Amino acid sequence: MNVANLVSVLASLSWLLVIGSILFAGASVARGGRARSFASLVIGALALALVLSTVSQGLIFVQPEARGVVISALQPTGIRAQALQPGLRFVVPFFESVKTYPIAKQTYTMSGAAAEGQIAGDDSIVARTADGQEVRIDASVIFSLHPSEVVDVHIEWQNRYVDGLIRPKLRGIARDSAARYAVQEIYSIRRDELASEIEAELRGVLESNGLMLDAFVLRNITFTPEYASVIEQKQIAEQEVEKQAFVVKQREQEAEQLRQQAKGQADAVVIAAEGQAQKILIEAKAQAAALHAIGDALTTNPDLLQYTYVQELGDDVQVMLVPANSPYLFKLPELEATAGTPASE
């Protein structure tokens, strides 16, 4: 409870005290008491009540989120030029009164939903587009009174600035703006542009009347059932096209994967073939080098071939038969030298 309210309560109690003192004095006089002895009590109670009531009428406490407009019989214009600032203030009792206005942000909503707007029932804005389609617009206006222009707002609108200014102006601006767009533009690519246009025009109107627009919210745009059905069918068709495009892309990716796998397998076959060919080439070169070395060895040592032949014979060979007139595998000069000499006894 602030001081102004406390003084007001005390003033009310003081008048009860006046009534009680009068009743007490009357009862005492009726029992034979002297009226003069109770007169001072009644006068004192009355004087206290008048003082407290006078102070109560002049003492005003303005909340931090408000400003006070002083209606004054002492001013030529009937009103003080400056609004009362927050805090405990004093005005001339019985000649001046105070009307307070909130300067905090307020929200006014117009909606087709019954429980969302300030007015029960469908309070959406009905408008027609450039191509003659009917649309319903749900919107919210977040605004506040300009602290330095509260007196002017009181003079122009009093507390009717919502119903007398914001509501009709918003309806008119929204209808005029919607009429500059085709229904498909509002539905899709130019919805934000429509909201920005309404906000800019509404901001100018409010500022010229002492109010500040904090934000304009385009909550929803509702179309006729027929056009809503067309939009739904269009969305279904677009989704089907997107689905088919996705399937085609998926198939292309699968085909590309198969091509890459086939290419990898082909590359592996080629690499394997090249490795095998390289192996054969290396082996052929080695064999050729070996044969060349053998040829060189046979050229310089003809008996090497016969020696190699004998080396390949099995270990159990004791006697060999060779065709007549065949040369010996090895020259046997010792046998030739002793062929004509008889053996010694």
Distance CA 175, CA 170 (A): 8
Cβ distance 68 to 60 under 8 Å? yes
What secondary structure letter does DSSP report for 341?
S
DSSP 315: T
82 and 111 part of one domain: no
Same domain, 96 and 115: no
Domain finish residue from 189, 223, 257 = 223
88 near 63, Cβ under 8 Å? no
Would you say 329 and 310 are in contact if contact means Cβ atoms under 8 Å apart? Answer: yes
Q: For residue 38, what pLDDT is reported?
A: 66
pLDDT at 309: 63
Q: 273: which residues sit within 8 A by CB, 6+ positions away?
A: none
User: Would you tell me the crossing angle of helices 3-30 and 35-58 to the nearest 10 degrees?
Assistant: 160
Provide the pLDDT for residue 108: 93
Same domain? 122 vs 85: no
State residue 344's pLDDT score.
44
- Pull the structure tokens for residue 118: 């300030």
Q: Are residues 113 and 88 in the same domain?
A: no
Cβ burial, residue 122 (10 Å; 0-12/13-18/19+) = middle
Q: Which structural domain range is residue 299 located in? A: 246-312
Residue 161 lies in a domain: yes
CATH number of the CATH domain containing 202: 3.30.479.30
Beta strands in 124-281 (DSSP E): 125-128, 134-145, 211-223
Q: Coil, strand or helix: which one is 50?
A: helix
> Are 96 and 134 contained in the same domain?
no
Domain count of the chain? Answer: 3
CA 202 → CA 109, 166, 182, 280, distances in Å? 14, 8, 21, 90
263: left (phi over 0), alpha (psi -120 to 50) or beta: alpha
Under DSSP, the state recorded for 125 is E
Residue 9 shares a structural domain with residue 32: yes
Q: With beta carbons less than 8 A apart as the criterion, state whether 92 and 72 touch.
A: yes
How would you write the pLDDT of the chain (345 residues) with one tens digit per residue? 577 778 778 878 888 887 887 887 777 767 766 656 667 777 888 888 888 888 888 888 999 999 999 999 989 999 999 999 999 898 998 898 999 999 999 999 998 887 777 777 788 889 998 988 888 999 999 999 999 999 999 999 998 999 999 999 999 999 999 999 988 888 778 889 999 999 999 999 999 999 999 999 998 888 877 766 666 576 667 777 887 888 888 888 888 888 888 888 887 887 888 888 888 888 888 887 877 777 777 677 766 666 666 666 666 656 555 555 555 555 545 444 444 445 443
Kindly tell me the burial class for residue 106, based on how many C-beta atoms sit within 10 Å of its own C-beta (0-12, 13-18, 19 or more): middle
| pTM of the predicted structure, to 2 decimals | 0.59
Which residue reads 């010996």 in tokens?
328
